[in-house]
Amino acid sequence: MELKKDSNTVSIDMLLIVHSEKRRAAQGTHSDRQADPGALPQRRGGLQGGGNGMQKWQKIEGNSLNGNLADKQHPQQTQVITSYDNQGTQLTVEVHPRDTMPELLKKFSLDKRLQGDKNGNTRPRQPGGKDAHAYPWDRSSLKSMPLDLQQFEKLDTYASQVTVKSGLDELVNDLLQEAHSDLERVRAIWIWICHHIEYDIEAAQEKDRQAFKPSNILQTQKTNCDGYAGLFERMCRIAGVQCMTVPGYSKGFGYQTGQSFSGEFDHAWNAVFLEGRWHLLDSTWGSGLVDTATSKFTFLYNEFYFLTHPALFIEDHFPDNKNWQLLKPPQSLRQFENNMYHKSEFYNKGMLSAHPDTPVIRTVNGKATITVESCAPTPFMFMLNGKQEHGLLSLQKNGMKLDVYPPTMGTHKLQIFAKGSSDVYSSVLEYTLKCNYVDSGVRLPSELHQPVGPSWFSEQMGIRKPSHPDPIIHTSDGRCSVSFGVEEGVSVLASLHGDEGPVTEETQRRYIFQLQREKRTELKVQLPRAGKFALKIFVKKRQEPGNYAFVFNYLLCCSNTKVNWPVFPESFGNWGQGNELLEPLSGVLPANRNVPFKLKLPGVAKALVKGQDTWPLTLNGEGYWEGSCSTAGCQEVYVMVLENANHNFYSYILKYTVNDQ
């Protein structure tokens, strides 16, 4: 068909596409986890249309059908009209100079730069049954095809260092110098985009359409998810690899647990055709993150979103067409909204599953229990309403268990963090807790840190074979004894913490008396009152500088209101291995009394007790040093030892205080 206007001959080509299901109103706003929460929706030029057949005009740039809307264009320039009817039928009309090749024909031609695949397929085939993966995830792999990431190391290094010299064609040609298969071509393009293109917050806020054009992206090296997906598709097509842009909903930046999705789509990603199947990836989320406080983008490469297993990809990506889920069976939008969202770091750090598997959970008798299964021993921590309180987290060989006791009724935010090979904890799960009952008898000490109870981690730190493997110790008389093996060269320190007096910073170690027996350490504990206390355990390698490191704690519970134990005597550094105190165990002695002493002090030459006067101790046949001391006229009493008979220097090992008269 020809149309004459202003003596310029033009041709009109028409492309009719019939969709199996009605399109949504738009492949609309493609903000994502990196978008500013205040950014307004943006529309994708040329792909937006209403069911009333309203037309949108656009200028084609190069070989792409995406470009800027134009109210008026010169007839010598290529023009495209795209329209949809109520049944979802798409009609695209192209007006172009007669002597030029139609862009629509180029788009679906056998030109090597734009062909769908090497078999001559001119259009990417739609996903079908052979592309579908089983749902739920079978735990076999994080990827949708077998990959050895180590084989990509050389290619990744090369691709990340390629620079833009002129245009997109030359960039792709440079990237493909080290790529020898479609998989490697896709990998090279992925690596380059993830390491060179940053998220453009300003363009997203200002709805700057120029930011989505490949030429502008290469110039500024900034865009948003529209631009990421469009650029990736364009580069793949230049490389001769079938690629599609997939719009949809995402659980990205600003997502609230349990929220519903409606209206325009908020994200875009890609599907690539490799080895006879479609695979999914998201270069926007693979490139980095935006700090919500500073609105600054940081490159932080995320391997998880490269050829992600569809059963995992569906957790935070819901496409406009269910076929692009690549799942059997596909998930509904309601299922997407209600399913548990495991963040990418959940899988990056080796997590396998979590229970409950719903984002909103209700407490039972004021308590909620969460368990996580992991591939290997992993450190965890949690925060309830932004604080590490009101919970008991115990590490297990392959996971963790967390019991949470919300302090008030209502809705609470629970975050779970995990630490991988680095020293940084990353958020892996978020729950919304709904509590309709509070058990006032389960108030945990604020100083009860995580984790509770011995585990693989305490064994790694040199503490072995504990006498109490469980994290909670109940005592009826306010006393208990805890022991464990200690690796050679490791020192142990313990302290007791409660929310109310009389335990203070000065006395938190005085309610614990530490004994060394061969390769085991024993902690004798006396509680000052009834209640719940945190018994913290610290370790330090003797030959290394620095402070003691926290390892774990026990929760000590006593309901006996008659309990009122005093502090133990204060021990000094010379209180050595094998020493044992039988009496007096109380660190506070009565005034004006003769107090008996009995201790085991292996290897010492002499021992004495010093008050106002000096009282020698004698060694009996059972190996104990015995004697007595008068507390008259003194405020402090010391036990002293002479370690070498050839010396005259006595060392302090124990200190008692004397009650005022």
CA 475 to chain centre: 37
Alpha helix ranges (H) inside 542-625 = none
Expressed in angstroms, the distance from the first to the final Cα of the chain is: 116
Contact (Cβ atoms closer than 8 angstroms) between residue 402 and residue 474 = no
Q: For residue 531, give the nearest of 488, 486, 496, 484 by alpha carbon.
A: 496
- For tokens 């975050």, what's the residue? 415
Please confirm, yes or no, whether 225 is among the known catalytic residues.
yes
Q: Between the CA of residue 95 and those of 9, 10, 111, 263, 550, what are the distances in Å? A: 10, 7, 21, 32, 73
Amino acid at the residue 613: D
Q: Which of 133, 196, 267, 390 is catalytic?
A: 267
Kindly report the CA angle at 118 between 78 and 190, in degrees rounded to 5?
75
Amino acid at the residue 492: V
Is omega for the bond preceding 469 within 30 degrees of 0, making it cis?
no
Report helix angle 225-238 to 168-175, nearest 10.
70
Please confirm, yes or no, whether 355 is among the known catalytic residues.
no
Beta strands in 346-419 (DSSP E): 351-355, 360-362, 368-374, 380-384, 391-396, 399-404, 410-419
Those residues with Cβ within 8 angstroms of residue 314's Cβ, 6 or more apart along the chain or in another chain: 135, 325, 327, 331, 336
Please confirm, yes or no, whether 282 is among the known catalytic residues.
yes
3-state helix/strand/coil string of 30-99: CCCCCCCCCCCCCCCCCCCCCCCCCCEEEECECCECCCCECCCCCCCCCEEEEEECCCCEEEEEEEEECC
Q: For residue 75, give the nearest of 14, 12, 8 by alpha carbon.
A: 8
Q: Which of 282, 316, 320, 403 is catalytic?
A: 282
C-alpha span between 290 and 353 (Å, rounded):
28
Contact (Cβ atoms closer than 8 angstroms) between residue 255 and residue 341 = yes
Which secondary structure element, helix H or strand E, spans residue 358, and what is its range? Answer: none
C-alpha span between 207 and 214 (Å, rounded):
16
Contact (Cβ atoms closer than 8 angstroms) between residue 202 and residue 40 = no
Q: Which of 32, 131, 133, 225 is catalytic?
A: 225
* Helix/strand/coil for 338: helix
Which residues are catalytically annotated?
225, 267, 282
